[in-house]
A and B are shown apart, each in its own frame.
Chain A
Amino acid sequence: MTTTYGPLAVWAVVLVVGALTFAIRYSFIYLLDRVSGVPPRLERALRYVPAAVLAALVAPSFVDPGPTVAATLLDGRLLAGVVAAGVAWITENMFATLVAGMLTLWTVGFVL
């Protein structure tokens, strides 16, 4: 799929996301003079943002609910995701994770 948005809209997204991302990065570096550290309640919530957001991003790419449980589980993308997750857990290496996931996807696609 390719976007149907024009150059103006795409550049606007680039600039707005860039500005807001910079504001996030600068937030507490800038505010430190005025407040002491992150408010504890906010810090508690922010702690779970990476796990929650990244899981919400990846899960639909690996899990595509099929008509049956077997059809859902015997999906090349899910198998590749499980293998890649195992490799990520053991090696904590992005390159190894990418290679393991892609090889599994290609192998399963060849066999099934």
Chain B
Amino acid sequence: MPTVPDDFVAGVRATLPLLLGLIPFGLVAGVAAVDAGLSPAQAVGLSAIVFAGASQLATVDLLAKDASLPVVVLTAVVINLRMSMYSASIAPYLEALRRRWSALYAFVLTDMSYALAIAEFTDETGDDAPDAADQPAPDGGADGSGHRWYYLGAAVFMWLVWQLATIVGVVLGASIPESWGVSFAVPLVFLSLLVPELSDRPRVVAALVGGSVAVAGAAWPLNLGLLGGALAGVVAGVAVEGREAA
């Protein structure tokens, strides 16, 4: 790589407006991790390896409550299941990539990098569900290679910002008095991710059912209120969609 491709720089630049959301989220991830009793190395390791804010917050929250380890892992995995949809949605645009590149793509796939990339890709093809006719050009072609550098620029830069924000959060964490209630920022972050999701009736019902079951089951053992609420919400969403389609 003799020079930095223009598309890489374009991808980095496209992330700038998102940093207002990404940086406080990363700070909270760092603060929450040390508050939960993780060491600085563990807190940064979590951000570097998992790189998925909502599941990181749930993980440290459950570790702080000494939930059983299978529940900690299962909860994080359930939260991250949504990314299989991103994986499915973005895959057609990356099909021409060699396997080691596609693994790197997958590693830095997040809500924000997916949203940015899919907006850029579909802007070029004019179609958000590409078929064989408008696939990007094969690897090495001008079009496919541009996609790759743009995505890598955006996603890798966000990964770096996430690590820096986490480190700052880890450093600040110990010095923020508990009476400020900064831990309340954690559900507020989830809330700000939830609200834009409520785009139609089935999703609203999924959230209402999921939230209600979780409140009712807040005292259930093993944090099963969360998993029960999530499952009940998904079932309710599918049911409402099925009834509306009928």
Binding site for B on A (CB under 8 A): 1-5, 7, 9-18, 20-22, 24-33, 37-38, 43-63, 65, 77, 80-81, 84-85, 88-89, 92-95, 97-98, 101-102, 105-106, 109
Chain A contact residues: helix, strand, loop or mixed: helix
Partner of B102, one of A5, A30, A43, A59: A30
The list of the 8 closest CB pairs from A to B, nearest first, reads A52-B233, A2-B37, A48-B237, A56-B229, A59-B211, A94-B21, A61-B187, A18-B49
User: What residue of chain B has the Cβ atom nearest to residue A35's Cβ?
Assistant: B88
Partner of B88, one of A4, A17, A38, A89: A38
State the CA gap A4–B226 with chains docked (Å): 22
Q: Which of B7-15, B60-68, B120-128, B161-169 lies on the face that meets chain A? A: B60-68
Known A48-B206, A57-B79, A98-B185; 11 more pairs at CB < 8 Å: A10-B42, A13-B72, A17-B72, A24-B80, A27-B87, A48-B238, A52-B209, A61-B184, A61-B187, A94-B21, A97-B191
Partner of B241, one of A14, A37, A44: A44
Min CB distance A68 to B, Å, is 16
Asked whether, in the complex, the Cβ of B233 is within 8 Å of the Cβ of A27, the reply is: no
Number of interface residues of B (CB under 8 A): 96
Q: List 30 A-B contacts (CB under 8 A).
A: A2-B64, A13-B69, A13-B72, A17-B76, A20-B77, A21-B50, A21-B83, A28-B87, A28-B88, A29-B105, A30-B106, A48-B206, A49-B81, A51-B204, A52-B210, A52-B237, A53-B78, A53-B230, A54-B190, A55-B214, A57-B79, A58-B191, A60-B215, A85-B195, A88-B192, A89-B195, A92-B196, A94-B189, A97-B192, A98-B24
Partner of B206, one of A11, A22, A55: A55
Min CB distance B208 to A, Å, is 7
Partner of B50, one of A5, A18, A53: A18
